[in-house]
Structure 1
Amino acid sequence: MAMPHQVHEHKDLLTLNTNELPMYRDALPGVPGVDVQPLFLDPSAGIWVLRVVFQPGVVLPRHYHTGTVHFFTLTGRWNYVEYPDQPQTAGSYLFEPGGSIHQFMVPTTNTEPTDTVMVVHGANVNFDSEGNYLGLMDASDIMHLFDHLVRERGLEPAKYITPRAADYTTRAR
């Protein structure tokens, strides 16, 4: 068997060091204590990868996942309101199937922030405590959120990885 042809040519690896990227403090409107680093956003495939640091006491809206989620806990502790006896702690990996519904919370008793990395396929459909629709969060929404955030705060544009847009094979590149 012959060596396959390389599909995408690039001179450098597509790599980010989270220690060298800015952490966007209080990045989610209306939810203080959620600090975010976007790492990979692909609105075409509906994939978003974020490093998120949650301060003690953060409670997110109840949400429905349209796709799967891989969720890694690096430090701290959190749990879903629906699963109080299954806390996620440093070193935990959680797989969430599409179609799951839950509400994320960080205990107020935490003595440190909870540092996480999430790989999300699809969207979060958010609801309030009465089950009323609040909005949708997907890769496209997150791109717009960061564009707005950096403009509003006078910051440099966020650096993250995103694939090239789809195009015709016959178009000059």
Structure 2
Amino acid sequence: MKPTPYVDHAALLTLNFHELPVFKDALPGVDAQPLFLDPHNGAWVLRAMFRPGTRLPTHYHTGDVHFFTLKGRWNYVEYPDQPQTAGSYLYEPGGSIHTFAVPEDAAEDAEGLMIVRGANMNFDDNGQYVGILDASWLMQMFDHLVKERGMEPARYITPPPVGYTA
């Protein structure tokens, strides 16, 4: 039997981040571009730019992460002797806990491409749970920013909606 595509599409699903708007201050100190958001499978892909001095909440990953550093430098507070610099690829297994930070004295933004499965469970400095960041939350955040700022809707790839077979 000759293989046939399960999903019929007339063109490749492709984006060029040079042609997409950047959501400035999507999070404090972070500019971001959504590239792929899949709330059904808990997967998300973002290009993000982190300004010098940015520190994200300590977070626990429920799934794995692939992080490609495109520009600048950053590190996890817990691993100060292992800075990530342009060209670095970092794999984080599910169950990892860490705190992302860009040094105050960084000469430029740190820029990265992250491929994430699952959620970030965020905690404050006292270890108290403060919230979740996952594909669904990101979709809502970008929708909110579009409305709040009068922007064009975010363009990213997402799988078709779930439903019943015919």
Instruction: Give the AA of the match of 1:11.
Output: A
**Partner deviation per Cα, 1:34-85 (whole Å, 9 max, x = no partner):** 0000000000000000000001110000000000000000000000000000
Offset, 1:148:
0.5
Structure-1 residue corresponding to 2:62: 66
Figure out how many residues of one structure are paired with residues of the other and give that number: 166
TM (norm. structure 1) is: 0.94
Structure-1 residue corresponding to 2:99: 103
Instruction: Give the AA of the match of 1:82.
Output: E
Tell me the distance in 1 between the aligned counterparts of 2:54 and 2:118.
23
Structure-1 residue corresponding to 2:23: 24
Over aligned residue pairs, what C-alpha RMSD do you find?
0.7
Of 150, 154, 166, the residue aligned with 1:154 is 150
* Residues 82-161 of structure 1: pairs in structure 2 closer than 5 A: 82-161=78-157
Whichever structure has more strand as a proportion of its residues is 2
SS in 2 for 1:143: helix
**Partner deviation per Cα, 1:8-48 (whole Å, 9 max, x = no partner):** 111111000000000100001xx2x2000000000000000
Structure-2 residue corresponding to 1:53: 49
Structure-2 residue corresponding to 1:3: 2
Instruction: Give the AA of the match of 1:115.
Output: E
Offset, 1:5:
1.4
Tell me the distance in 2 between the aligned counterparts of 1:77 and 1:3.
48
SS in 1 for 2:19: coil
SS in 1 for 2:17: coil
**Partner deviation per Cα, 1:135-163 (whole Å, 9 max, x = no partner):** 00000000000011110111111000000
Offset, 1:109:
1.2
5+ residue gaps, structure 1: none
Instruction: Give the AA of the match of 2:109.
Output: P
Offset, 1:3:
3.4
Tell me the distance in 2 between the aligned counterparts of 1:155 and 1:144.
14
Tell me the distance in 2 between the aligned counterparts of 1:103 and 1:128.
10
